[in-house]
Amino acid sequence: MASQIFRSLAEVRFDPSSVITVGTFDGLHRGHQAIIAELKREAHARQGSATVVTFDPHPQVVLQREDKPPVQILTTTAEKMALLQRAEVERILVIPFTREFSRTASEIFVRDILHRRAGMQAMVIGHDHGFGKNREGDFATLERMGHELGFAVREVPPFEMNGVTLSSTKTREALLSGEITIATHYLGRFYALSGVIARGDERGRRLGFPTANLQPTDANKLIPAHGVYAVWAEVENQPYAAMMNIGIRPTFGKATRTLEVHLLDFSGDLYGAMLTVHFVARLRPEQKFDSPQALMAQLQRDKANAEQALKNENIPAGWHNATRPN
């Protein structure tokens, strides 16, 4: 089933059977997935259309304060759309988020946009959902408005894993600490990062490990902790087993962070191509070596460890023609 996607309020079609959930859904982690599953159940029970309302860009990017660290997002809008379509959501409304829109009062948002424009007959929300100007709207607001306007409201309880209430913040913390296994557990899939392959200094080629220098397509996309990783890499719809280094290459006295991907069974020119990596395991933190020879020896060990890690993990969904390491 192909989802209907509306990329502005002007595009959205009125559907009086709409069952709606609203949120940023950054990462679309397992807690978000539980909300989507409840949305679909409610829509099925009401013979309605499961509708997700989200925002582009991430509201925190628009409202970023200069005295705060840059916002790091888990999913770009394109990634989020792909995940929602894979979840078979019937309708997706992407509202362009601006500072002006951020000043919309919660009751106006519910009455004029969700109810009158989108046709909401019922709403499913997470336990901590806040909306409208300064997040002033909450579950009590929705219950009151639902009684007035004639729509139902259902609240989904917190989603816990091993005693942890799952959130986008918890997922970011895991990735920034290099805890890839935990992040995978929270997301229900491997964390992905996409970018264009740019020309680097080709030092890896001289060491016998040619690498693709990855330039992320979104400056706000979260990059995991420095270190060496086992990853599945996709280049022009072709999957490869790979290992990846994130860091400043201290052995060579560098100071600028680079993202370098070595495809384990590939030779050729990839410059200018799009590459997506799916993080499977962190093999080790970044470290400084006494010589290029010591680094080369470690890279051989890293390669063997990456091959082993990828043997033991599932290939990302849809990659039926991927080849596992021998």
Do 203 and 245 fall into the same domain? yes
Closest CA to 185 of 30, 34, 26: 30
Do 218 and 291 fall into the same domain? yes
Do 18 and 139 fall into the same domain? yes
pLDDT in tens, 163-196: 999 999 999 999 999 999 999 999 999 999 999 9
Residue 172 lies in a domain: no
Residue 273 lies in a domain: yes
C-alpha–C-alpha distance, residues 87 and 85, integer Å: 5
**Number of Cβ atoms within 10 Å of the Cβ of 1:** 7
Query: Which has more pLDDT, 70 or 276?
Result: 276
Give 51's contacts (C-beta < 8 A, 6+ positions apart): 15, 18, 19, 20, 21, 39, 43, 89, 90, 91, 92, 93, 118, 120
- CATH number for position 201: 2.40.30.30
Tokens 């020309």 -> residue: 199
Do 111 and 205 fall into the same domain? no
Torsion, Cα of 319, 271, 212, 182 (10° steps): -40
Q: Per the structure, how many domains does the chain have?
A: 2
Per-residue b or e along 211-225, where b marks 16 or more CB atoms closer than 10 Å to that residue's CB:
bbbbeeebeebbebb
Residue 286 lies in a domain: yes
Of 32-36, 128-132, 151-155, 318-322, least confident by mean pLDDT is 318-322
Residue 48 lies in a domain: yes
Do 23 and 132 fall into the same domain? yes
pLDDT in tens, 204-234: 555 557 888 999 999 999 999 999 999 999 9
Residue 317 lies in a domain: no
Burial-class residue 164 by CB neighbours within 10 Å (0-12, 13-18, 19+).
middle
Do 140 and 241 fall into the same domain? no
Q: Over 50: is that where the pLDDT of 148 sits?
A: yes
pLDDT of residue 65: 87
Residue 297 lies in a domain: yes
Which amino acid, residue 115?
A: H
pLDDT in tens, 234-275: 998 888 999 999 998 766 656 689 999 999 987 777 889 999
**What is the arrangement of strands in the sheet containing 120-126, beginning at the earlier edge strand?**
4-6, 91-96, 49-56, 18-22, 120-126, 152-156
Domain that holds residue 39: 4-164
Burial-class residue 10 by CB neighbours within 10 Å (0-12, 13-18, 19+).
exposed
Residue 38 lies in a domain: yes
Distance of CA 326 to the CA centre of its chain: 30
- CATH number for position 77: 3.40.50.620
C-alpha–C-alpha distance, residues 27 and 191, integer Å: 9
- Residue 249 has, within 13 A of its CA and on its CB side, a CA count of 18
C-alpha–C-alpha distance, residues 65 and 42, integer Å: 38
Residue 176 lies in a domain: no
Q: Are 62 and 99 in contact (CB under 8 A)?
A: yes
